[in-house]
Structure 1
Amino acid sequence: MANSYFQFKQFRVEQDKCAMKVCTDSCVFGAYVDVNSAKRILDIGAGTGLLSLMVAQRSGASIDAVEINPEAQEQAKENFSQSPWADRLMLYPMSLQEYAQETRAIYDVIFSNPPFFLSSLKSENAAKNTAKHTGDLLFEDILTFAQQHLTSQGKLYLLLPPAEAQHFSDLARNHNLYLIETLEVYTRVGGKCIRHIQSYSFAPATAPVVKQLFIREADAVTYTSEVKELLREYYLIF
């Protein structure tokens, strides 16, 4: 059974109310997104608030987070209020579609770990279905919002399984957003690629950069030095 919380070096993520718990690939995503020069950031589908908290730790940006699920909304509010960056974290308890109708905000960085399984079977857990399957939150909605609310030099980041990542990149071109970099995340050295971290901008790349990251060594137990370095400022064990 998953713990009711996950303790990081500078903050705690309570997760008892959320269907989707803290996981390694999400933490890698939160640590990888480039927010060094960002002044305003949007987290689409905040869940526990994990990603917003991770980028708040290493930036001075104002961070808005949108979440549709009532239990997750409550959880994220709690985690934000208990963090050292509560004054820079704002939760909007609504769908992205609703938020798009009421905001005029422009963002330097937009990121999302969205519902992603396009065709796999759904579970009987409704909350987990909302968190993991494209339904209420569609790829097209993310792209339409980004096209309208990213700064001209801004970046959109997505964490998706490989097949869904390819589908998203195909759709993105119709919104004048272009894939510029992919980080392929593998379970272990010699293991399976489970996620792609993609970054998009309005400027097409001649040849999008492709990198690889292995979470664990071939023994499937030991974290790689690259992951240790990436998560050193977050994980208590590093």
Structure 2
Amino acid sequence: MGSVFRFKQFEVDQADCAMKINTDGVLMGAKAWHKEPKSILDIGTGTGVISLMLAQRFPAAVLHAVEVDEPACLRAQANFINSPFADRLQAYHCSFEQLNTGVLYDLIVSNPPFYTRSLHNPDPRKQLAKHTDMEFFTKLLYFAVHNLNTYGSLHLIIPPTLADELVEHGQKIGLFLAAVMAIKSFNDSEVFRKLIVLNREASTQVQQEELVIYQEKGRYTDAYKSLLHPFFLAF
């Protein structure tokens, strides 16, 4: 039972998943936003945790999740079936390029692999889960252009330098930065992730915010606890 992570409204079994539940994923699940999403796509769902969190937050939304790693996809689907949101969740064993649901999405989210310039992990499944190259992100941006509704948005949680590169590239193909959340471990530490929101509307005023996770070692900030309060038993 050590592989099961219990949330307030659902459980996530992480067995068979190369990438376990992590801070990036739960922040995406808690923060990604759309006014009234009817259709959501989670790219690289892994355990399925982001889809489950979004299903809890948006009770009118149907969620599709894609995962190229078959054992992880099967586990995500089992987690979906065992949740209170089973009738609104579906996992697909394929890449996002292969997905053909005929749906235009209000919200596309991804906690993607992003080690684009580092040595690859020797474990092939962890390599697939963690490592990619810029071609992956180029394809992801073009996919979003063609698969988002007119007022839909793409949400990515990635390292700051990569985020800046993707914002620049997105502008060239019609996806513009609407919001960014800079994430830091401590108040005096460097930003280690950015959650960026891209949509079709060029904005003159980008919404910017900062999230600090720890007040001190082992002690979470009130902002972090407030964000995860609807989900974490500990909060």
- How many pairs does the alignment contain? 233
Give the drift of 1:31: 0.3
Query: Structure 1 length as normaliser, TM-score?
Result: 0.94
Matches within 5 A, 1:15-26: 15-26=14-25
**Counterpart in 2 of 1:33?**
32
2:207 counterpart of 1:224: no
Classify 1:131/1:137 alpha carbon distance in 2 versus 1 (closer, same or farther; 3 Å).
farther
Matches within 5 A, 1:1-238: 3-59=2-58, 60-99=60-99, 102-135=100-133, 138-217=136-215, 219-238=216-235
Q: SS of the counterpart of 1:115?
A: coil
Give the drift of 1:16: 1.6
Give the drift of 1:19: 1.1
Provide the C-alpha distance between the structure 2 equivalents of 1:182 and 1:127, rounded to a whole number of angstroms.
Answer: 30
Give the drift of 1:188: 1.7
Please list the CA deviations of residues 10-48 of structure 1 after superposition, one character each: whole Å capped at 9, or x if unmatched.
Answer: 111111211111112321111001144101111111111
Question: In structure 2, what residue type is equivalent to 1:215?
Answer: I
Provide the C-alpha distance between the structure 1 equivalents of 2:42 and 2:114, rounded to a whole number of angstroms.
Answer: 16
Please list the CA deviations of residues 170-221 of structure 1 after superposition, one character each: whole Å capped at 9, or x if unmatched.
Answer: 221122000111100111221232210000110011132221100111x221
Check the 8 A contact 2:120/2:127 in 1, yes or no: yes
Tell me the percent identity.
37
Provide the C-alpha distance between the structure 1 equivalents of 2:134 and 2:153, rounded to a whole number of angstroms.
Answer: 23
Query: Structure 2 length as normaliser, TM-score?
Result: 0.95
Please list the CA deviations of residues 94-125 of structure 1 after superposition, one character each: whole Å capped at 9, or x if unmatched.
Answer: 111111xx332101111111111110111111
Provide the C-alpha distance between the structure 2 equivalents of 1:103 and 1:24, rounded to a whole number of angstroms.
Answer: 29
| Greater than 4 Å deviation, 4+ residue runs | none
Provide the C-alpha distance between the structure 1 equivalents of 2:191 and 2:124, rounded to a whole number of angstroms.
Answer: 27
Provide the C-alpha distance between the structure 2 equivalents of 1:136 and 1:171, rounded to a whole number of angstroms.
Answer: 11
Give the drift of 1:56: 0.1
Q: Which runs of 5+ in 2 are unaligned?
A: none
Give the drift of 1:135: 4.9
Classify 1:127/1:137 alpha carbon distance in 2 versus 1 (closer, same or farther; 3 Å).
farther
